[in-house]
């Protein structure tokens, strides 16, 4: 039973409800007449508890009550419309980045190639300066304008979707910094990719749409601000991530699976369809743009900056004997991937602790140094390599050797005799854009193009460059470097297979592909999504079992050493991710032990403002239980009040009152729901910034309308692993630990939650007709039929508690 004063407050609430002029949702208004129902949350169309920091207070319910069925339909429509916009936006961003990168790289390489006809030193100078300029533009944007744009952004997005808001990751400036920073860093030839940043870009676009534009840059629009709950915003960001992957790899299904497997923490099947829609929109946008570019209007883009390798002309089948070398690729991938994670972890840690503390200047110098080294190695090493004679080509082969000037493809003529048919195999992979290099490594019908020596040199150099580049202050993805590294050793293994398994129809390119999959698996530990992405970029379903074999091995090997790249990085950046499963030690702890050292600070229902201020100043708790003394003098916990909501109340002062008793309904609540919405980008209020006069401090606040009346509770001696499951599965922020109950009021079982309309009509009718009124009575004949049905009955009896 609820105590008297609480009952009194509910009375108040009911009076307020009945005063609402615009209450066009009859069930809400009438339901409150029942008394306790007022405390039920009323979130439109949703599983509101699957939400961290849910607003369930009275003001929110009031806001909800104002909204009718029309609003629900409108919000569904807006959700789909936003999914469309996210798809278009992310697709456009991907095309813009690719266009820019390809054109910058194209200019750079064509300029360099034309200069080296005369002087290799001048060529090197131009090449280096071009790279340096691009990289500097990138690092300058990141350090001075959008610091959150550095890195891949995937760990931060993962954290956001897990419930941890890292500051600034979804701002408009981060979006801009990410797009232009990517162009600079990728165009500047660093050992990094643009795929991770594209995921972040998609997430930023989604988040900005969700909050209705950027408030700081006055780009917001009121009619777009439909999504005020964290859950809706998180759903949008999930769509954005999928769109990013779909745009980066042109892999719509892979995008959905990536979002599902890698980034989200809570997944609902309703969301899946919308996410898939977003990905498909991206695919259409990118495809249309690429068709448009085929006409040659996009400068150097024509050759395609998107990673898509159609190796359908390659190896189609595989024999049993090939499984051994493929397994070896898996093992190598696991080892090198785990090593990569470990090295980057050490270096990032060292960099953060010693280097980046010294300010932006150091960051800029560091990136410039890395760029100089990269330019030096990628230009210098091919120079040292002697050229090989071109192989004899088949008559109708599309591949030329050496490739004609100004085109893209295998067999690069670099520092070779001009009249002889020669090519430089190291330049083919090193002195090239990474996308082209990958295409060259994956290429079929080019057996023995590379010497083992060149591949090994490239592997060692590029691996080191990738490790050093990781963690610098530029936007950086790890997909493309991973694919580069993996395909190099994959191709190496493929060369040995070609040499020793002579009679098989083996393509080195297939092994390169498997190598790429193995390294990504060993480093990022993605599984299904990576498989599907690999299949989609190669457009060859037949390789799926092989890719899967390689991934199984490399992930298992990698897991023996450390965690995945994103998890390691998230931990290093201090993003405390809640994993799906409780830790082992939690089995041996109880809920009480988990909160042993806490001093619980209570509020009573009506509190003095001065008390609130002093409590908020004296501790950092984010939530406080609210108690009330009942008729019989016993204390009752009546709910939870959030620090942020208290701060809103203190700042606005509108709900201060003189009397120390619960408000009696004569004063309707003055706040509307949007006051309590947590801002996405800013840090929110703090107690220090709120100024109250002495008069204010002497007044009271009735917390009744603002508290969350029913947070989830657990008994004190529940195992902590069960508590963890509750917390994690429902996405909670606070759980009350309470003493064991003295008695049980009832047991809720499946049957109690499956009451059908007809079955419970008798009981419901007695109590409230208003609740019944809203339930559509569909197919009464069948309902009748079911109650007669023996199987149903027996099942219901079985599941009866």
Contact between 36 and its own copies per CB under 8 A: yes
Residues 348-407 that bind its own copies (CB under 8 A): 349, 352-353
CA–CA separation, 79 and 46 (whole Å): 13
| Residue with Cβ nearer its own copies (390 or 764) | 764
Annotate 39-57 with three-state secondary structure.
HCCCCCCCCCCCCCCCCCC
- Can you tell me which residue has the tokens 């760990």? 155
- β-partners of residue 629 are 635
| Residue with Cβ nearer its own copies (283 or 468) | 283
How near is the Cβ of 173 to its own copies at its closest, in Å? 19
| Residue with Cβ nearer its own copies (617 or 622) | 622
Q: Which are the contacts of 149, defined by CB distance < 8 A and separation ≥ 6?
A: 141, 142, 174, 177, 178, 181, 197, 200, 475
Residues 416-475 that bind its own copies (CB under 8 A): none
> Do 451 and 425 meet the contact criterion of CB atoms below 8 Å apart?
yes
How near is the Cβ of 640 to its own copies at its closest, in Å? 8
Residues 324-353 that bind its own copies (CB under 8 A): 345, 349, 352-353
CA–CA separation, 728 and 581 (whole Å): 8
Strands of 606-608's sheet, edge to edge? 606-608, 700-702, 656-657
Residue 212, phi then psi, degrees to nearest 5: 75, 40
Contact between 11 and its own copies per CB under 8 A: no
Which residue stretch of 37-45, 108-116, 385-393, 464-472 sits at the interface with its own copies (rule: CB under 8 A)?
37-45
| Residue with Cβ nearer its own copies (593 or 664) | 593
Residues 237-266 that bind its own copies (CB under 8 A): 252-253, 256, 260-261
Contact between 632 and its own copies per CB under 8 A: no
Which of 21, 296, 404, 574 lies at the binding interface for its own copies (CB under 8 A)? 574
CA–CA separation, 377 and 189 (whole Å): 11
CA–CA separation, 675 and 652 (whole Å): 9
| Residue with Cβ nearer its own copies (28 or 131) | 28
Contact between 633 and its own copies per CB under 8 A: no
Residues 42-81 that bind its own copies (CB under 8 A): 42, 45-50
Which of 419, 634, 688, 695 lies at the binding interface for its own copies (CB under 8 A)? 634
How near is the Cβ of 107 to its own copies at its closest, in Å? 32
CA–CA separation, 171 and 215 (whole Å): 10
- β-partners of residue 715 are 738
How near is the Cβ of 527 to its own copies at its closest, in Å? 4
Residue 632, phi then psi, degrees to nearest 5: -85, 15
| Residue with Cβ nearer its own copies (396 or 598) | 598
How near is the Cβ of 16 to its own copies at its closest, in Å? 17
Contact between 541 and its own copies per CB under 8 A: yes
Which of 347, 393, 528, 697 lies at the binding interface for its own copies (CB under 8 A)? 528
User: Residue 608 in 3-state DSSP?
Assistant: strand
Burial of 761 (0-12, 13-18, 19+ CB in 10 A): middle
Contact between 270 and its own copies per CB under 8 A: yes
Long-range contacts of 355-360 (CB under 8 A, 24+ apart): 356/473, 360/143, 360/144, 360/473
How near is the Cβ of 301 to its own copies at its closest, in Å? 20
Any idea what DSSP says for residue 561?
T
| Residue with Cβ nearer its own copies (279 or 424) | 279
| Residue with Cβ nearer its own copies (114 or 775) | 775
Residues 732-791 that bind its own copies (CB under 8 A): 733-755, 763, 767-768, 771-772, 774-775, 782, 785-786, 789, 791
Residues 156-195 that bind its own copies (CB under 8 A): 163-166
Token pair for 282: 């991206």
Which of 548, 550, 647, 669 lies at the binding interface for its own copies (CB under 8 A)? 548
- β-partners of residue 389 are 422
Which residue stretch of 107-115, 224-232, 401-409, 719-727 sits at the interface with its own copies (rule: CB under 8 A)?
719-727
Contact between 719 and its own copies per CB under 8 A: yes
Token pair for 692: 């109250």
| Residue with Cβ nearer its own copies (400 or 759) | 759
How near is the Cβ of 645 to its own copies at its closest, in Å? 14
Site string for its own copies, 583-602 (x = CB under 8 A): -xxxxxxxxxxxxxxx-x-x
Any idea what DSSP says for residue 695?
H
> Do 482 and 516 meet the contact criterion of CB atoms below 8 Å apart?
yes
| Residue with Cβ nearer its own copies (164 or 692) | 164
Q: What is the dihedral of CA 268, 270, 272, 274, to 10 degrees?
A: -140
How near is the Cβ of 133 to its own copies at its closest, in Å? 32
Q: Which are the contacts of 270, defined by CB distance < 8 A and separation ≥ 6?
A: none
State the CB neighbour count (10 A cutoff) for residue 151. 26
Contact between 729 and its own copies per CB under 8 A: yes
Q: Which are the contacts of 328, defined by CB distance < 8 A and separation ≥ 6?
A: 493
DSSP H helical ranges for 117-265: 120-144, 154-162, 172-187, 195-210, 230-249, 252-258
| Residue with Cβ nearer its own copies (403 or 592) | 592
Which of 527, 604, 657, 758 lies at the binding interface for its own copies (CB under 8 A)? 527
| Residue with Cβ nearer its own copies (384 or 766) | 766
Contact between 666 and its own copies per CB under 8 A: no
How near is the Cβ of 125 to its own copies at its closest, in Å? 41
| Residue with Cβ nearer its own copies (37 or 425) | 37
Buried b (16+ CB within 10 A) or exposed e, 203-215: bbbbbbbbbbbbe
Token pair for 778: 């569909």
Which of 221, 407, 658, 798 lies at the binding interface for its own copies (CB under 8 A)? 798
Contact between 722 and its own copies per CB under 8 A: yes
Residues 276-305 that bind its own copies (CB under 8 A): 276-277, 280, 283-284
Residues 14-33 that bind its own copies (CB under 8 A): 27-28, 31
User: Residue 24 in 3-state DSSP?
Assistant: coil
- β-partners of residue 640 are 625, 708
Q: Total residues at the site for its own copies (CB under 8 A)?
A: 157
Site string for its own copies, 603-622 (x = CB under 8 A): -----------------xxx
| Residue with Cβ nearer its own copies (269 or 407) | 269
> Do 554 and 518 meet the contact criterion of CB atoms below 8 Å apart?
yes
| Residue with Cβ nearer its own copies (212 or 715) | 715
Give the N- to C-terminal CA distance of the chain in Å, as an integer. Answer: 23
Token pair for 262: 């890698």
Which of 2, 136, 362, 504 lies at the binding interface for its own copies (CB under 8 A)? 2
- Which of 649, 705, 773 is closest to 17 using CA atoms? 705
């Amino acid at each position: 039973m609820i105590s008297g004063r609480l009952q009194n407050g509910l009375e108040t609430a009911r009076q307020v409800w009945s005063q609402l002029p615009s209450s066009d949702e009859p069930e809400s208004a009438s339901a409150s007449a029942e008394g306790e129902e007022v405390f039920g949350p009323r979130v439109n169309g949703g599983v509101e508890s699957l939400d961290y920091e849910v607003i369930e207070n009275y003001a929110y319910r009031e806001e909800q009550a104002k909204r009718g069925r029309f609003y629900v339909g409108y919000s569904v429509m807006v959700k789909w419309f936003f999914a469309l916009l996210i798809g278009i936006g992310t697709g456009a961003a991907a095309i813009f980045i690719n266009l820019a990168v390809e054109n910058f790289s194209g200019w750079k390489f064509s300029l360099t190639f034309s200069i080296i006809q005369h002087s290799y030193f001048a060529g090197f100078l131009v090449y280096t300066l071009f790279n340096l300029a691009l990289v500097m533009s990138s690092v300058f944007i990141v350090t001075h304008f959008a610091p959150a744009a550095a890195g891949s952004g995937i760990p931060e997005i993962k954290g956001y979707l897990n419930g941890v808001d890292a500051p600034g990751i979804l701002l408009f400036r981060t979006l801009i910094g990410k797009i232009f920073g990517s162009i600079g860093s990728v165009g500047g030839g660093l050992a990094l990719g643009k795929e991770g940043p594209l995921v972040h870009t998609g997430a930023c676009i989604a988040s900005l749409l969700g909050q209705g534009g950027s408030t700081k840059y006055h780009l917001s629009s009121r009619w777009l601000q439909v999504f005020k709950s964290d859950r809706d915003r998180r759903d949008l960001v999930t769509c954005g991530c999928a769109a990013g992957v779909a745009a980066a790899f042109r892999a719509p299904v892979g995008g959905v699976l990536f979002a599902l497997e890698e980034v989200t923490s809570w997944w609902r099947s309703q969301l899946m369809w919308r996410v898939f829609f977003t990905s498909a929109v991206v695919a259409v946008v990118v495809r249309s743009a690429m068709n448009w570019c085929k006409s040659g209007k996009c400068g150097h883009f024509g050759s395609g900056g998107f990673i898509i390798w159609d190796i359908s002309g390659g190896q189609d089948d595989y024999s049993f004997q090939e499984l051994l070398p493929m397994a070896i690729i898996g093992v190598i991938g696991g080892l090198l991937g785990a090593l990569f994670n470990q090295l980057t972890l050490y270096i990032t840690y060292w960099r953060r602790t010693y280097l980046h503390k010294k300010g932006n200047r150091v960051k800029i110098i560091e990136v410039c140094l890395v760029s100089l080294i990269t330019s030096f190695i990628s230009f210098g090493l091919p120079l040292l390599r002697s050229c090989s004679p071109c192989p004899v080509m088949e008559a109708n082969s599309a591949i030329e050797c050496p490739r004609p000037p100004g085109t893209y493809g295998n067999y690069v003529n670099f520092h070779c005799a001009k009249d002889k048919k020669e090519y430089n195999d190291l330049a083919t992979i090193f002195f090239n854009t990474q996308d082209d290099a990958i295409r060259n490594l994956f290429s079929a019908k080019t057996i023995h193009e590379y010497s083992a020596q060149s591949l090994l040199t490239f592997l060692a150099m590029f691996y080191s460059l990738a490790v050093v580049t990781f963690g610098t202050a530029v936007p950086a993805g790890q997909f493309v470097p991973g694919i580069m590294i993996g395909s190099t050793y994959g191709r190496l293994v493929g060369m040995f297979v070609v040499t020793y398994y002579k009679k098989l129809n083996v393509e080195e390119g297939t092994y390169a592909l498997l190598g790429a999959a193995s390294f990504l698996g060993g480093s990022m530990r993605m599984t299904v999504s990576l498989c599907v992405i690999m299949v989609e970029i190669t457009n060859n379903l037949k390789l799926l079992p092989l890719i899967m074999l390689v991934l199984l091995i490399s992930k298992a090997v990698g897991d023996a050493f450390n965690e995945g790249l994103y998890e390691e990085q998230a931990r290093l950046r201090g993003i405390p991710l809640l994993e799906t499963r409780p830790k082992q030690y939690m089995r041996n702890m109880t809920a009480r032990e988990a909160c042993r050292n806490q001093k619980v600070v209570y509020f009573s229902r009506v509190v003095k403002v001065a008390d609130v201020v002093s409590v908020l100043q004296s501790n950092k708790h984010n939530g406080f239980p609210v108690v009330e003394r009942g008729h019989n003098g016993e204390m009752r916990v009546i709910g939870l009040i959030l620090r942020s909501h208290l701060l809103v109340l203190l700042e606005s002062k509108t709900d201060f009152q003189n009397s120390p008793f619960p408000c009696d309904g004569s004063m309707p609540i003055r706040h509307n729901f949007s006051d309590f919405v947590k801002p996405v980008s800013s840090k929110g209020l703090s107690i220090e910034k709120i100024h109250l006069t002495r008069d204010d401090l002497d007044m009271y606040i009735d917390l009744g309308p603002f508290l969350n009346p029913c947070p989830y509770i657990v008994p004190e001696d529940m195992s902590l692993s069960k508590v963890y499951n509750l917390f994690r599965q429902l996405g909670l922020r606070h759980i009350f630990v309470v003493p064991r109950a003295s008695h049980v009021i009832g047991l809720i079982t499946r049957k109690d939650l499956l009451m059908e309309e007809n079955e419970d009509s008798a009981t419901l009718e007695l109590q409230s007709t208003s609740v019944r009124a809203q339930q559509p009575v569909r197919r009464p004949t069948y309902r009748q039929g079911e109650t007669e049905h023996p199987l149903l009955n027996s099942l219901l009896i079985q599941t009866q508690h």
